[in-house]
Structure 1
């Protein structure tokens, strides 16, 4: 893997909701977005539980897929243990990327549960790396509806996997090489429910300040009406100093 340098940013907006139940984590080696559900207090608590579990993985430069799975299992159990009317039925989605070492050196692990998404901008093209765990996605996969009709389908907000509710859910995990120039976006459906992929591509590829890119994406969702909380994390993979440059910098008095 060539030397790389990561930069990142995040932004969130309330939208037309009364409170923000989204949470995010931007603490290397993990970058993620959680979208809570199940009542005001319950949704926020569920999102905080999964972000807190993932934060336990930030004790080194890399983590592992096994540790990600264990952290999400722990969060799932914590959410299910919530008691009281304010937190009954709490759950959350999660989507993110993490730098992992599976024995062959650092690489990306893309992970998600639910309909929060992960995208990659690479070689001039936007690619959705996650596949929604939703009723609408199952209808698309079965050929009953088209991608175009999914955005207005009456069941578009019904998800089939989440942490804390329903059957225990394992995350989908995809391993990718770490490549200079790539850009990653993790986002709640408050962004993708308002902003088309081609517009996401244009904003994600514009500029080299990930904080500004994140803010621009959220502002676009707000400009489109932002019916839900909208939260994003953006990670840019830059080219780090070469070994020769590092030796030169070390030798400079």
Structure 2
């Protein structure tokens, strides 16, 4: 069975912010894979750690999107973790999406370790797909903290999993059907730490071009304080048909191969 072609267009932006001296964020836009990694703040090797993560995801891409699976993602994360520990140390988050195939249909494989996030914007609604690996998220899950308090809790920057450190063999993955007209946002906490979900949703709605949307998110995060490095990578699904893709737009085909999958978790979030 052949998967209908998926036409993507994307935009990306990053900024050191108004406080940090070094941008420890790294990103990769190498269709069908899109990744953001945030080096651990306070670690001298944070920028190198995030660079290693995106090197691993960009250096060994499968020949076909159909070969992408949770097992491939785990291999990239484990390899990055070994390189980080054997090198200068430090740690990094990772989050991203990849176009893959299951049972003859196009799917997003979304994944994350740490508190960088994946969102989906579709039909006027913003959903947080990934789930933070953080101390405050654990408090929310246990019912000991209201979600609104995550932004101001004194330990909001403590993460419970990081590549190169604890938990890098435990990555969360989700499978989501690819839908024409939807938009995926992959971002570091320099965006989500400054902007609330309704602000993010408004900016995604106001900017049709993904590059303009990415630039707008960075500008608003800086205007809100810019206390951390900020990175936004936006991927739009323009169509799911067999028409030729415009110049500069990625079009995936399909091979009859199915990777290793985790059970999809129901997407969390919303516009609140």
TM over 0.5: yes
- Report 1:155-174 matches (<5 A): 155-174=155-174
The alpha carbon displacement at 1:150 in A equals 1.4
What is the Cα deviation at residue 168 of structure 1?
3.8
- Cross-structure match for 2:81: 76
1:10 to 9, 12, 22: 12
Q: Which has the higher contact order (CA 8 A, sep 6+)?
A: 2
Q: Which residue of 1 aligns with 2:252?
A: none
Give 1:250's aligned residue: none
Q: Does 1:21 align with 2:40?
A: no
Paired residue for 1:47? 50
Q: Residue 19 of structure 1 contacts residue 40 of structure 1 at CA under 8 Å; is this kept in 2?
A: no
Q: CA deviation at 1:239?
A: 1.6
Q: Deviations over 1:203-237 (max 9, x none)?
A: 11223211111010011000001100000100000
Q: How does 1:215-230 map to 2 (within 5 A)?
A: 215-230=215-230
Q: 1:177 maps to which residue?
A: 177
Q: Compared with structure 1, are the counterparts of its residues 167 and 40 closer, same or farther at alpha carbon in structure 2 (3 Å cutoff)?
A: closer
Q: TM-score, normalising length from structure 1? A: 0.89
Q: Secondary structure at the match of 1:140?
A: helix
Cα separation, 2, equivalents of 1:152 and 1:38: 18
- Higher gyration radius (CA): 1
1:88-237 equivalences under 5 Å are 88=89, 90-237=90-237
For 1:167 and 1:111, how far apart are their aligned partners in 2?
Answer: 14
Unaligned runs of 5+ residues in structure 2 are 245-272
- CA shift for structure 1 position 167: 4.2
Q: 2:71 aligns with which of 43, 58, 66?
A: 66
Distance 1:192 1:104 in 2: 35
Q: By how many angstroms is 1:101 displaced?
A: 2.7
* 2:256 counterpart residue number: none
Q: Distance in 2 between matches of 1:54 and 1:92?
A: 14
Q: Deviations over 1:65-114 (max 9, x none)?
A: 221111111111111111xxxx34x0000011011234544311000000
Aligned residues: 239
Name the residue aligned to 1:249. Answer: none
CA distance in 1, matches of 2:6, 2:183: 13
Contact 1:113 1:169 in 2 (8 A): no
> CA separation in 2, counterparts of 1:175 and 1:181?
18
Please give the secondary structure, in 1, of the residue aligned with 2:157.
coil
Pick from 54, 59, 82 the counterpart of residue 56 of structure 1: 59
SS of 1:216 mapped into structure 2: helix
Q: Where does structure 1 differ by over 2 angstroms across 4 or more consecutive aligned residues?
A: 1-4, 38-41, 56-61, 101-106, 166-169, 205-208
